[in-house]
């Protein structure tokens, strides 16, 4: 496919972009205290610049001590922070990539633990997520904040930035003024749409006055808030038009607020391009370029959006976290070599916990210097045992470093537990990770031997210099009466199609696998009851994905019973304890999803024979693909 539109240059006021792919603001959490720029942060952004993106938006940059929402935000009112940002801009500029700074005030969504005082907002309406009680801003205070936007926009230009973005989305201060969900003022800043938009327009005008006529201004707007009384696709195009008339040069469309945070960073349960229709409605009302964000993670979809006239520019944050070379690979036609974001939201979940981001599919994130391949003086013959995510990543990295690599897998195909993971309908994109590995391992000329079970004798005959064991895990079987009945099966066998079941099904275990297999079966017509001994299900699943997974289970009819401990399985029922009493559930089938143990039978024999033997992934300790892929990369890097 030819991407004529995606790689067509575009101009935003005086800003010339070489393509239609930009990186919007996504705080990676790598900055030091107060947003202090360090080498790790610079390495992260420079790696994205090297990959061919046309523009990077850095931020959020907070200019007011009561407007802070996250620990790693750039508090540009503090001494030394603007100078550090200047160093970051210089580093990115060396790769020919322009940089913008997003100006941000959290309003009532400020973190009470990070601010000194009471959060401020258009109205004294409590934040339903932060549970804080803001005070309503006075008109003189509003005027003061407007002036601050202008002052710090000018400082951004002086620091070397090529543009600024006024953050008017995601439920922060400007969005709070725009939305009846947070604004019940009766003065000139509340009530009608024109009044609710007044603050945003004053900010844009003041920013323009401070940065001059030739400096680009982006305005980020929620296409829809997805809450009762929130902004709708009927109102936001009208707001965008007013913002354009006030002096904005581009409208950046996202969605949601903290109440509907899944729309801010859509997980895999939401459709690709979930904000495109809202962006298209805005584009009909404005003449300036429209940027759209939200699960556009393939060049084909990006081109389709642009060709259809629904937006002018694609904002891609997590996609460039997963593969910073996405633009270059797309332009060169190496589509199957793109390591696609699977929207698992592990990165975002960590930010919610005030931690730095990691990426399931890209172990180099935040470790760019660590994974800068050094020259290899002595190539080795490397044997990788196991074709799951950890083994495939180990093979990829070892071959990139110059080793001769053979990958052994006893199954007829690569993928390991990823093959089971993508069977639930909402996780279909996960299989793109397997396709990525199949492509790059072939490109790198890694020798792959399928349907080959490794033994110590075979390893001796092959004479490797180093061995990486990535044999995965085996499902646990609980010590329950009746667990060995023929109608009791493992969840992985169900997901991999090794057994076909229907009728009334009890799924024991409400973790990741239990939720997935329950959804999988309910979508196929089974009557599913999920039994979990804890007070909640979806434990260990990233927050936004877990929230939507629970909604999905409810929608497909999964009956969830928590605080239930299964004590016995009988021929046609499951017996469980409920608040100290015994109860039962009639069943045709019982599916076990109660965890797994390491498959490590080869570890000791091979370590006895080959001193340079390593374990990665679940055969070391059952966890997630995140840990398996990172360990595979780290071990291979150290060979």
Q: Is the Cβ–Cβ distance between 311 and 328 less than 8 Å?
A: no
549 contacts 463 by C-beta, under 8 angstroms: no
β-sheet with 381-385: strand ranges across: 447-449, 404-408, 381-385, 466-469, 613-615
Closest by CA position to 227, among listed 287, 170, 266, 147: 170
172 is catalytic: yes
Long-range contacts formed by 138-146: CB under 8 A, 24+ apart: 139/187, 139/189, 142/189, 142/199, 145/64, 145/105, 145/173, 145/203, 146/199, 146/202, 146/203, 146/206
d(C-alpha 634, C-alpha 624), whole Å: 16
Q: What are 564's strand-pairing partners?
A: 578
* 275-279 contacts at long range (C-beta below 8 A, 24 or more positions apart): 275/223, 276/305, 276/310, 276/311, 277/223, 277/233, 277/310, 278/223, 278/224, 278/233, 278/236, 278/253, 279/223, 279/253, 279/310, 279/311
Rounded alpha-carbon distances, angstroms, from residue 246 to 200, 204, 577: 9, 6, 64
Instruction: Specify burial of residue 126 (Cβ count, 10 A radius: 0-12, 13-18, 19+).
Output: middle
Query: What SS3 state is found at 347?
Result: helix
**Can you name the residues that pair with 218 across neighbouring β-strands?**
165, 250
Give the Cα separation of 477 and 488 in Å (integer). 10
Nearest CA-CA partner of 526 in 494, 572, 568: 494
- The one catalytic residue in 172, 181, 408, 614 is 172
CA–CA distance, 341 with 30 (Å, rounded to integer): 20
CA neighbor of 21 nearest in space, from 244, 329, 261: 329
CA distance 501 to 483: 17
Which of 286, 190, 189 lies closest to 247 in space, CA to CA? 286
How many Cβ atoms from other residues are within 10 Å of residue 242's Cβ? 18
| 94 HSE (CA, 13 A, CB side) | 10
Nearest to residue 87, comparing CAs of 121, 38, 124, 123? Answer: 38
* 8 Å CB contact between 587 and 505: yes
Contact between 228 and 249 under an 8 Å Cβ cutoff? The reply is no
- Cα radius of gyration rounded to whole Å, the chain: 26
SS3 489: strand
Catalytic residues: 172
């Amino acid at each position: 496919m030819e991407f004529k539109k995606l790689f067509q240059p575009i101009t935003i006021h005086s800003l010339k972009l070489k393509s239609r792919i930009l990186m919007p603001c996504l705080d990676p959490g790598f900055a030091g205290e107060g947003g202090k720029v360090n080498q790790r942060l610079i390495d992260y952004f420079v790696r994205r610049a090297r990959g061919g993106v046309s523009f990077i938006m850095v931020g959020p940059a907070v200019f007011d001590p009561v407007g802070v929402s996250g620990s790693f935000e750039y508090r540009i009112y503090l001494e030394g922070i603007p100078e550090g940002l200047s160093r970051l801009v210089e580093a990115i500029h060396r790769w020919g990539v322009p940089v913008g700074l997003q100006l941000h005030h959290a309003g009532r969504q400020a973190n009470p633990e990070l601010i000194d005082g009471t959060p401020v907002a258009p109205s004294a309406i409590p934040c339903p997520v932060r549970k804080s009680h803001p005070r309503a801003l006075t008109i003189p205070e509003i005027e003061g904040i407007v002036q601050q936007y202008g002052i710090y926009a000018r400082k951004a230009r002086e620091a070397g930035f090529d543009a600024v973005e006024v953050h008017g989305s995601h439920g922060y201060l400007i969005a709070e003024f725009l939305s009846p969900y947070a604004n019940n003022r009766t003065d000139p800043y509340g009530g009608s749409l024109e009044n609710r938009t007044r603050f945003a327009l004053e900010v844009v005008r003041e920013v323009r006055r401070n940065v001059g006529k030739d400096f680009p201004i982006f305005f980020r707007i929620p296409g829809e808030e997805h809450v009762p009384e929130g902004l709708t696709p009927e109102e936001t195009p009208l707001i965008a038009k007013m913002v354009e008339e006030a002096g904005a040069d581009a409208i950046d469309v996202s969605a949601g607020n903290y109440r509907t945070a899944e729309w801010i960073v859509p997980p895999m349960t939401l459709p690709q391009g979930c904000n495109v229709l809202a962006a298209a409605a805005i584009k009909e009302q404005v003449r300036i370029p429209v940027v759209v964000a939200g699960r556009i993670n393939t060049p084909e979809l990006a081109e389709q959006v642009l060709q259809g006239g629904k937006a002018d520019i694609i904002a891609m944050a997590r996609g460039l976290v997963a593969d910073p070379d996405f633009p270059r690979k797309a332009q060169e036609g190496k589509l199957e070599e793109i390591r696609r974001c699977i929207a698992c939201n592990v990165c975002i979940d960590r930010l919610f916990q005030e931690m730095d981001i990691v990426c399931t599919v890209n172990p180099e994130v935040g470790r760019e210097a660590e994974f800068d391949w050094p020259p290899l003086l002595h190539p080795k013959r490397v044997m990788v045992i196991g074709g799951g995510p950890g083994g495939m990543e180990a093979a990829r990295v070892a071959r990139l470093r110059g080793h001769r690599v053979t990958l052994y897998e006893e199954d007829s195909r690569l993928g390991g537990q990823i093959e089971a993971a993508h069977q639930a309908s909402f996780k279909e994109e996960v299989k793109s990770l397997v396709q990525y590995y199949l492509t790059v391992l072939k490109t790198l000329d890694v020798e792959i031997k399928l349907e080959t079970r490794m033994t110590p004798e075979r390893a001796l005959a092959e004479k490797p210099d180093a061995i990486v064991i990535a044999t995965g895990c085996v499902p646990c079987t609980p010590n329950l009466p009746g667990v060995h009945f023929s109608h009791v099966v493992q969840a992985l066998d169900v997901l991999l199609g090794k057994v076909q079941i229907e009728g009334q099904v009890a799924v024991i275990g409400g973790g990741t696998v239990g939720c997935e297999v329950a959804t999988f079966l309910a979508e196929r017509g089974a009557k599913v009851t999920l039994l979990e001994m804890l007070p909640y299900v979806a434990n260990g699943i990233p927050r936004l994905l877990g929230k939507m997974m629970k909604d999905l289970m409810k929608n497909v009819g999964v009956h969830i019973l928590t605080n239930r401990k299964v004590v016995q399985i009988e021929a046609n029922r499951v017996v469980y304890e409920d608040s100290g009493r015994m109860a039962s559930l009639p069943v045709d089938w019982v599916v076990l999803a109660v965890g797994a143990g390491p498959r490590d039978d080869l570890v000791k024999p091979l370590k006895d024979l080959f001193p340079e033997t390593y374990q990665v992934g679940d055969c070391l300790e059952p966890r997630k693909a995140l840990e398996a892929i990172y360990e595979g990369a780290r071990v291979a890097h150290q060979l």
